[in-house]
């Protein structure tokens, strides 16, 4: 049987698990946010990475119910953590299909309400390419989402084709510098220059900026020197299951 057949059953069989990757304030070392990253615990094939099944889920439309489940799960989990760490935020990825679905705003509002999570504690990550199908409609959707009080981040920034001129029309609060640029900043002058420029541009547009895929102290030093204050990557932590993430939060914050 095909993976898609299994994927159809996976939600009702409770086979998805959400891992959480800390987002760190570099200056203080404090975890301020957690990005929800879904995994599929397949009964016979073992753990399947989202890189493998998200495209399939996107194609088949299954991403809409799966994404809704991830959103609700993440809002509820971060709400639990907020009893101990009140300022913690949840970051959740939205796929193109989800972003374009008609009832997105209702679903996000419902997720917040059910979890009793304050809207400003939720950060929805959309990619540049998601916005490019229909930029005007995307901007309208972003405004609808923003009117709930949530925040929006532009994920994988630098890998898409969006014109910089759109950036000032996007009601976003953060750019996430794609890890393909961060990887070689200490060895590749071009990547170093691109990252430095993106940080400077984000700051002049009054946007926060987070570097993804930070793996080494050298990358961290370069980013801090360029005043990128928020980081995510294996140097701080891999995406973790709830119990492990709980330990890490108690250890760090």
Q: Which one of 15, 191, 215, 246 is in contact with ligand G (CB under 6 A)?
A: 215
70 forms part of the interface with ligand G (CB under 6 A): yes
Nearest CA to 125 out of 177, 161, 73, 77 is that of 177
Tell me the CA distances in angstroms from 229 to 26, 84, 166, 173, 183, one per residue in order.
Answer: 5, 24, 24, 14, 17
128 forms part of the interface with Mn ion (CB under 5 A): no
In the region spanning residues 74 to 93, those forming contacts with Mn ion, defined by CB under 5 A, are 93
Tell me the CA distances in angstroms from 14 to 20, 68, 217, one per residue in order.
Answer: 18, 14, 38
- Provide, rounded to whole angstroms, the least separation between the CB of residue 37 and Mn ion: 8
DSSP assignment letter at 235: T
Which of 30/215 has CB closer to ligand G? Answer: 215
What would you report as the CA-atom Rg of the chain, rounded to the nearest whole angstrom? 18
Residue showing the smallest CB distance to ligand G in the complex = 233
Tell me the CA distances in angstroms from 21 to 66, 101, 129, 153, 247, one per residue in order.
Answer: 19, 26, 23, 16, 13
Q: Please classify residue 129 by burial: count the beta carbons closer than 10 Å to its beta carbon, then call 0-12 exposed, 13-18 middle and 19+ buried.
A: middle
| 185 binds, options Mn ion, ligand G, Na ion, none, Cβ within 5 to 8 A by partner type | none
Q: Please classify residue 253 by burial: count the beta carbons closer than 10 Å to its beta carbon, then call 0-12 exposed, 13-18 middle and 19+ buried.
A: middle
Residue ranges that bind Na ion, judged by CB under 5 A:
155-156, 212
Is there a contact between 92 and 125 (Cβ–Cβ < 8 Å)? yes
Q: Which one of 22, 33, 158, 239 is in contact with ligand G (CB under 6 A)?
A: 239
158 forms part of the interface with ligand G (CB under 6 A): no
- CA 119, 82, 153, 73: dihedral to nearest 10 degrees? -80
| 50 binds, options ligand G, Na ion, Mn ion, none, Cβ within 5 to 8 A by partner type | ligand G
93 forms part of the interface with ligand G (CB under 6 A): yes
Nearest CA to 38 out of 25, 27, 51 is that of 51
Separation of alpha carbons 147 and 144, rounded Å? 5
In the region spanning residues 143 to 172, those forming contacts with Mn ion, defined by CB under 5 A, are 155
233 forms part of the interface with ligand G (CB under 6 A): yes
In the region spanning residues 167 to 206, those forming contacts with ligand G, defined by CB under 6 A, are 179
- Provide, rounded to whole angstroms, the least separation between the CB of residue 46 and ligand G: 15
Q: Which one of 37, 62, 174, 245 is in contact with ligand G (CB under 6 A)?
A: 37
Stretch that binds ligand G, among 114-122, 135-143, 197-205, 226-234 (CB under 6 A): 226-234
Stretch that binds Mn ion, among 100-108, 125-133, 163-171, 232-240 (CB under 5 A): 125-133
Q: Which residues bind ligand G (CB under 6 A)?
A: 21, 36-38, 49-51, 54, 67, 70, 93, 95, 155-156, 179, 212-215, 232-234, 239
Q: Which residues bind Mn ion (CB under 5 A)?
A: 93, 125, 155
């Amino acid at each position: 049987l095909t993976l898609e057949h299994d994927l159809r059953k996976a939600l009702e069989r409770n086979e998805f698990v959400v891992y959480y990757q800390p987002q760190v304030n570099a200056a203080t070392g404090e975890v301020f946010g957690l990005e929800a990253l879904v995994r599929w615990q397949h009964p016979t094939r073992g753990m399947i990475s989202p890189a493998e099944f998200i495209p399939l889920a996107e194609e088949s439309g299954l991403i809409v119910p799966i994404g809704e489940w991830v959103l609700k799960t993440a809002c509820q989990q971060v709400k639990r953590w907020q009893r101990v760490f009140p300022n913690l935020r949840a970051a959740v990825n939205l796929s193109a299909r989800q972003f374009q679905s008609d009832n997105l705003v209702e679903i996000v509002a419902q997720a917040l309400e059910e979890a009793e999570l304050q809207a400003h504690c939720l950060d929805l990550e959309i990619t540049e390419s998601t916005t490019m199908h229909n930029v005007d409609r995307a901007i309208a959707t972003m405004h609808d989402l923003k009117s709930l009080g949530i925040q929006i981040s532009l994920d994988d920034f630098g890998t898409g084709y969006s014109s910089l001129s759109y950036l000032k029309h996007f009601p976003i609060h953060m750019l996430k510098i794609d890890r393909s640029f961060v990887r070689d900043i200490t060895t590749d002058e071009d990547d170093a220059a691109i990252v430095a420029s993106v940080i400077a541009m984000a700051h002049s547009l009054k946007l926060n900026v987070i570097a993804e895929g930070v793996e080494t102290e050298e990358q961290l030093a370069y980013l801090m020197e360029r005043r990128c204050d928020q980081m995510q990557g294996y140097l701080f932590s891999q995406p973790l299951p709830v119990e492990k993430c709980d330990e890490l939060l108690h250890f760090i914050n």
